[in-house]
Structure formats: C-alpha cells, structure tokens
Amino acid sequence: MQYMPRTADKQLQHWAEQQERKPLVLRGARQVGKTALVRRLASTSKLTLCELNFERLPRLRALFEKAGDLSPRTLLPQIGTLLGTDINAGQTLLFFDEIQECPQAITFLRYLYEDTPNLHVIAAGSLLEFALQRVSTPVGRLSFTYVRPMSFEEFLIATGRSGLNQQRPALEFESTMSQVPAAIHDALREALREYFIVGGMPACVAEFQKTRNFFKVREIQTDIVQTYLTDVRKYTKGDAQITNVGEVLSNTFSFVGKQISYTALGHGDAIKRTKQSIHLLSQAQLVSLVRASSAGKPPLAAETDDKTFKLVFLDIGLGQALAGVNVKDLLMADDLVATYEGRLSEQFVGQELLAGSRGASEGGQLFYWKRHAHGSSAEVDYLLSREGKVIPVEVKSGASGRLRSLHLYLDTYGGQGLCLQDTNRFESNRNVQFLPLYSRL
C-alpha cells in the first residue's frame, strides 16, 4: 500500500532530530497507521529500521521473559543476533511493535533511555493501555503520543485534493469572508460525504483512493470491527461481561450525540457490567468519553459531572459499519448534519477535534455543556478551551432561532459561540459565528 502522508510525520521527524530523546511510545487502536508512520520515519531519516514484532516473533518474547538481566548492554547484541543486524546509536531505529504482548519489553524501554539516550527507539501496540497496567511504567523516561484515524484534512490529501483542503475556512471570529464560493463549497461538501462513509482508517482510505468503491470499503470496515471485538475479549473475564462488551461495542454508535447515564443503561449487575465495558472500550481507544461540564471558563474539567457523558467512537466509517447505516442513504442525503439523527455530524466534529493539530479541549479530552438546574435539559454539543476562553459549539441544521441552549450559555457566561451547519454560511449573527461543517477547528 502506497504511503499516505500524515500530520504526525512532522512530530516524529522532530523527535528523531533531537540530540537526546526518550523512547517514543505510540498509542492508538489497531490499524490506525502506527507501523506505517515508523517505517516512513526510518526511510526519511535514513535510519536502518530494526523492527521487532512481538506477535510474530515468539522467540523474541522468550528472550525478554527469560532474561535475568534487562540491561541494553546484554540484550541489544542478542536482539541484533536474532535479527541478523547490528544496532548502532545514530544509525538504527529500533522499533518494538505490538509491545503489549511482552510487558518486560516495556520495562526495558526505561533502561534504553538511561543507558543509550542517542539510540532511536519507538514502541507501539494496540490495547497498550492494558499492558501498562501490568508493569511499573517508567514515568519521565518515555514520551507518548496518540495516533488516531486519518482526519478529513489527511483524507483530502490522500485522495489527491490538497488544493481543495487549502480552501477550507477556519474558525476566526474576526474574519471578513462572507461565504465559500459555490463551486468550492460543493466540492468540499461531496468530499465530506465521502469521508462520512469511508472514515479515516488507512486501509479504508487506501481502498477508496484506489477503487472509489464504497462497498469494498465497507467490507474492510466490517473486518476491522470484528478484529476489535476479538481483541477486547482477550482482556474481559466472565461470559456475562464478554457478552456485555460485545453488545456495548455493537451499539456504541447509536449512543453518539446522546447524553448517557449508567443508570439508564440497565439495572443491578447490568449497570456494573456496562460501566466496565465502556471503561474497557475507552482503554482500547475505541471510544472517547465526552464529559459533561457546567464551567463557563477554563479549566473545564473542574466542573464535570461523572454520572453523565456522551461518546465519540474511534472512526465515523467504522461506526456506520457497526450501526448498519446504509451507504445509499448517506449518498442521497440532502442535509449531512441531519443524517442519522445528527449523530454522524457530531461524531465527525468530535473525531476532528481529537485528531486536529489544535487538539481537543484540555489534555486531549472532550467536553460538552450541561446546565446544572433542576428540570433543565439545556446542553451544548462541545466546549472548546482556546487561549483562556471557552467557545461553545453546536452542530445543527435549521435556522439560528433553534439554538436555544447555545444562546442560553452565551447569555450566562458571555463570549462568542460557534454553529456548524451543512451550508456555505460564513457569517456572524449576534455573538454566534456560523461556519460550514467542513471548516477547520
């Protein structure tokens, strides 16, 4: 598969160019492109890639598990012998793939940093969070970064539309632009429709780039989902819990955009199992929790309600495969925001915030506003924390008069809000900025 550029390429290149660097651990779900990123880095940095996959090389696991001495002086020559290569600082990129299969190797990373800080070392793995629970994580001796599905920007570039990507408007309250030119708007809107179906999993984007066949893409999505379900079951105990995590995963996309409370998901033991399943799926990087906050200023995490939350699934394309959304329905949809009861658009925005260069609100987390008042149902889809200010964001179809919760938030806390719609509107109304759904956030 031809390599598709990622925004993380620059981040990894910057890490590689440091004189002394900590081992870098790439976190993220299976098949989001971690291995491809590392192989690309080795190629562009002219480093010899020494790749060790703990799933494919049982002898490698045995080397660590039976080692009485985890010092690099002892183990690096043995690893080199096993792979038939020399490992030299400044010349070799040592890559531990699927490192979650060998917890001792995670501990080994600490000693690599202490003894060989000039050696380029990267580790990656799916379900890595579970492995980190079983070992003493070497705090301060490792660097971590998350790899997520391809963003809409990356999708456009991968499908040969980098010029179109440059035409996307950005969130700028002082902008004087009134609207996106009609031809550009139509092209971006159709590209967004494609992204809603294909999503950002690299294998799916590559298939679409090659064939433009949505149904072949759906087959790949279905296979990936089944792989995830098999993976998560490895870390789930008890038949009832295994069944529950499968049900929660299968129904996750139907929860997107909905305020959830654990008590609404079942009774008695079912609540405990569902809570555990959501925790497991979050650890596996398959879902992200959107926390309810009543804050009007940063930090948003200071006023959260742990009893209610929303969910954003890993990928919009995979989510539709899980939910059984008909590809034809989306191809014929007049309003992308209203499609699937608004869940696709809210999923898209959450996914973009998590993947974007400006990140989510705080510490990689997402928040939404929930008014703490008896009998009140007011809520705003997302809260962005930017430069010491909070920007409430609504993803809506229809006229501005329907933005009651957004205006209530602004009347209470002041500031400016954002409304994303499936139009080429690019204007301000009172203290609300309207932008097309495909805009940069």
**What's the CA gap between 84 and 312, in Å, rounded?**
44
- In tens, the pLDDT along 356-375 reads 766 566 678 899 998 877 76
**What's the CA gap between 192 and 195, in Å, rounded?**
5
Instruction: Report the candidate in 346, 286, 355, 320 with the shortest Cα–Cα distance to residue 198.
Output: 320
The helix (run of H) or strand (run of E) holding residue 143 is strand 143-146
Give all domains of the chain, ordered by start, each with its CATH number. Answer: 8-146 (3.40.50.300), 152-436 (no CATH)
- In tens, the pLDDT along 218-253 reads 999 999 998 988 887 777 888 888 888 888 888 888
Alpha-helix residue ranges (DSSP H) falling in 128-268: 128-133, 152-158, 162-165, 182-198, 202-211, 214-233, 239-255
How high is the mean pLDDT in each 10-residue block of the chain (441 residues)?
91 92 92 96 95 88 84 91 90 94 88 90 86 67 92 97 93 68 93 96 97 96 90 81 86 86 68 87 91 89 84 94 86 86 92 79 84 80 89 79 87 93 78 91 86
pLDDT for position 357: 60
Tokens 């499968």 correspond to what residue?
246
Structure tokens at 10: 């620059």
**What's the CA gap between 98 and 119, in Å, rounded?**
20
